[in-house]
Amino acid sequence: MPKKLVRVTPSKLATWMDCPRRYRMTYIDRPTPQRGGAYAHSTLGAVVHNALRAFFDLPLDKRTPETGAALVTTHWKDDGFADGGQAAVYRDRAREWVARYLAETDVSVDPIGLERWVSAPAGTIVAEGRVDRIDDRDGELVIVDYKTGRQALTTDDARGSQALAMYAIATTRTLRRKCRRVELHHLPTGEVAVWEHTDESLARHQKRAEETAEELQLATDTLEAGGDPDVLFPPQVGRQCSWCDFRRHCPEGQAAGPPTAPWGMLPP
């Protein structure tokens, strides 16, 4: 019998590489262990993503920077912020980011996909995930990924992103059209990091994804056969323990350092 293809998203692969124990708690343990509270930077990112998705769903005559800013307010939440005052400051910043971004972006063309789920076999895996935006430019598809993090992004970030590469692979096969260009759009700075993949560079990303998928699937299968979860899914201790959703369930993570405040990773 041929081996069953392993279904993986960029988030699954990244979680496994970041910490196998967190992978187990996120994707295998049922019921899922209780998570920690909301983080303000995650709330901020979700609001911006939701506002931009809603914006491109609007008729062309309503796509103005002012409308984009208003959509930030419509989708705003205070989850994870220190207080209402801090939340208001970042709500206004997000409004400014989105308005500036839309003023500098050609919004007259409808994207091919918004929050589009793509899924396709690729070697020994099924590569899948939800793409923020898929554009059609000069007959080729382009992956657009919005970012709201603390750090500006570079060409190396776009080139090395396994998530973007997997999206390009899955989009090509799902929509049956060439997709090689990937872009990171950093809203706080307005910078766009771009990379044009080749067949060879995508193949390298796919190979790494297949190797990671084989590791996590072997651990999962061995666990189901009665293996020791602490041996198969050991904690990977590091800075990330300070903001891990499952910190309360991980003594090693707690010992690694103090927790990060829910608003501690907001962009300056």
Instruction: Give the model's pLDDT for residue 1.
Output: 61
Do 121 and 184 have their domain in common? yes
Instruction: Give the model's pLDDT for residue 227.
Output: 97
- Per residue in 28-78, pLDDT tens? 999 999 999 999 999 999 999 999 999 999 999 999 999 999 999 999 999
Do 158 and 126 have their domain in common? yes
Give a yes or no: residue 87 inside a domain. Answer: yes
Give a yes or no: residue 133 inside a domain. Answer: yes
Nearest to 209 by CA among 143, 131, 119, 125: 125
Give a yes or no: residue 201 inside a domain. Answer: yes
Do 125 and 184 have their domain in common? yes
Count, in order, helices (H) and strands (E) of the chain.
10, 6
- Assess contact for 195 and 155: CB atoms under 8 A: yes
- Per residue in 233-267, pLDDT tens? 999 999 999 999 999 999 999 999 999 999 999 99
Helix pair 65-75, 40-56: axis angle to 10 deg: 130
**DSSP-derived 3-state class of residue 232:** helix
Burial label, 72 (beta-carbon count in 10 A; 0-12, 13-18, 19+): buried
Domain of 158 in residue numbering reads as 114-205
Model confidence at 178, pLDDT cuts 50, 70, 90, reads: very high
What proportion of the chain, given as a percentage, has pLDDT over 90?
97
Give a yes or no: residue 254 inside a domain. Answer: no
pTM as predicted: 0.94
Under DSSP, the state recorded for 138 is T
Do 137 and 196 have their domain in common? yes
What proportion of the chain, given as a percentage, has pLDDT over 70?
99
- Assess contact for 195 and 144: CB atoms under 8 A: no
Give a yes or no: residue 259 inside a domain. Answer: no
Do 118 and 201 have their domain in common? yes
Do 19 and 75 have their domain in common? no
Model confidence at 165, pLDDT cuts 50, 70, 90, reads: very high
Instruction: Give the model's pLDDT for residue 3.
Output: 78
What residues contact residue 161 under an 8 Å CB cut-off, 6+ apart? 145, 182, 184, 195
Instruction: Give the model's pLDDT for residue 112.
Output: 96
- Per residue in 88-100, pLDDT tens? 999 999 999 999 9
- Per residue in 118-150, pLDDT tens? 999 999 999 999 999 999 999 999 999 999 999
Q: How many domains does the chain have?
A: 3
